[in-house]
């Protein structure tokens, strides 16, 4: 086996179950409810995390279904795995939400037509934006969680998102895994990754979300 084929082999074994889950994707968009309002406690923050993961899963599902023509076989395999991870994160957060008495939202739908998903460069650019956003979102959301168990639950995901972000960045621009646009190179924040409040993040999410995600009620501190 050649070194380059590592992801391809690992990805091939994965394909069947991923398709299975893709088939379970809930696409019930209810026109009469164009807004998802996130709650004012940590359950709202967990719902916010669910939205982020569903957004990422939707994005990768689209790329995996119709990869850009200039994607290499290895890149296709990598994106297949990224897709699987995001679906698992979403399913997991769905279980967490259910356990705290919240029904995971079923009316989420995303439109990524503002990205150029027909080229490798366009897909990598989009993936980098979404992965870096995810990392910053989890860093900013952690302090809004009051129960340690759920805090750990989010941190188990956030470092995997950072691993994704670093890989996608390196695919796009080798060596940019922790470049100065995401990890401050100087000043008081030197060495720290980005952190964004839910409202900052949702401003971006709402560019892609078909229904409005309202986060004004989310805890602020």
Partner 1 sequence: MNLFHILSELEKVEPETMAKLNSRRDIFSTLASMGKKAALAAAPIAIGSAFNKALAGTKDVFDVFNYALLLEYLEEDFYAQALAKAGLIPTGAPTSAIQLIKKHETAHVTLLKGALGAKANPRPKGFDFGPAFDTYANFLAYAQSLEDTGVRAYKGKAGEIKEAGNPNNYLTVALQIHSVEARHASHIRAMRRANGVMQANWITNAEANGAVAAVYGAGKPATTFPSEANVMQAGVDLTTLGYTKEQVSEAFDEGLDQETVVGIAGPFIMS
Q: Does 192 engage in binding with partner 1 (CB under 8 A)?
A: yes
Residue appearing with tokens 């008495």: 101
CA distance 74 to 76: 5
Stretch touching partner 1 by CB under 8 A, among 37-45, 110-118, 170-178, 203-211: 170-178
Nearer to partner 1, 118 or 152 (CB): 152
Between the alpha carbon of residue 52 and those of residues 33, 172, 184, 206, the distances in Å are 19, 22, 24, 11
Q: Which of 140, 172, 200, 206 binds partner 1 (CB under 8 A)?
A: 140
- Work out the angle at residue 179's Cα, subtended by the Cα atoms of residues 6 and 162, and round it to the nearest 5 degrees: 50
Nearer to partner 1, 39 or 140 (CB): 140
Beta strands in the chain (DSSP E): 35-37, 212-214
Q: Does 158 engage in binding with partner 1 (CB under 8 A)?
A: yes
Q: Does 41 engage in binding with partner 1 (CB under 8 A)?
A: no
Stretch touching partner 1 by CB under 8 A, among 35-43, 60-68, 87-95, 104-112: 87-95
Give the SS3 label for residue 171. Answer: helix
Q: How far is the CB of 181 from partner 1 (least distance, A)?
A: 12
Phi and psi, residue 214, nearest 5°: -95, 115
Q: How far is the CB of 145 from partner 1 (least distance, A)?
A: 7
CA pseudo-torsion sign 50, 197, 140, 114: positive
Q: Does 47 engage in binding with partner 1 (CB under 8 A)?
A: no
Produce one character per residue of 118-135: b if its CB has 16 or more CB atoms within 10 Å, e if not. Answer: eebeebbbbbbebbbbbb
Q: Does 185 engage in binding with partner 1 (CB under 8 A)?
A: yes
Q: Which of 66, 99, 106, 119 binds partner 1 (CB under 8 A)?
A: 99
Q: Which of 89, 124, 128, 202 binds partner 1 (CB under 8 A)?
A: 89
Nearer to partner 1, 183 or 204 (CB): 183
End-to-end CA distance of the chain: 51
CA distance 165 to 173: 12
Residues that bind partner 1 (CB under 8 A): 1-3, 6-7, 9-10, 13-14, 17, 20-21, 81, 84-85, 88-89, 91-92, 95-96, 99, 135, 138-140, 142-143, 145-146, 148-149, 151-153, 155-167, 170, 174-175, 177-178, 182-183, 185, 189-195
């Amino acid at each position: 086996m050649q070194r380059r084929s590592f992801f391809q082999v690992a990805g091939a074994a994965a394909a069947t179950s991923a398709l299975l889950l893709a088939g379970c994707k809930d696409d019930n968009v209810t026109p009469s409810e164009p807004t998802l309002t996130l709650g004012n406690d940590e359950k709202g923050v967990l719902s916010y995390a669910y939205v982020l993961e569903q957004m990422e899963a939707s994005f990768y599902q689209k790329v995996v279904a119709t990869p850009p023509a200039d994607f290499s076989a290895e890149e296709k395999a990598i994106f297949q795995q990224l897709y699987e991870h995001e679906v698992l994160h979403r399913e997991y957060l769905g279980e967490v939400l259910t356990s705290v008495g919240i029904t995971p939202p079923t009316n989420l739908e995303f439109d990524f037509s503002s990205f150029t998903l027909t080229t490798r460069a366009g897909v990598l650019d989009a993936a980098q934006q979404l992965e870096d956003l995810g990392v910053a979102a989890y860093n900013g959301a952690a302090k809004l969680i009051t129960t340690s168990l759920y805090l750990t639950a989010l941190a188990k995901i956030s470092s995997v998102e950072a691993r994704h972000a670093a890989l996608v960045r390196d695919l796009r621009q080798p060596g940019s895994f922790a470049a100065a646009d995401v990890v401050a190179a100087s000043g008081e924040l030197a060495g720290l990754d980005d952190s964004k409040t839910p409202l900052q993040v949702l401003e971006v999410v709402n560019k892609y979300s078909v229904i409005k995600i309202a986060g004004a009620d989310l805890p602020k501190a």
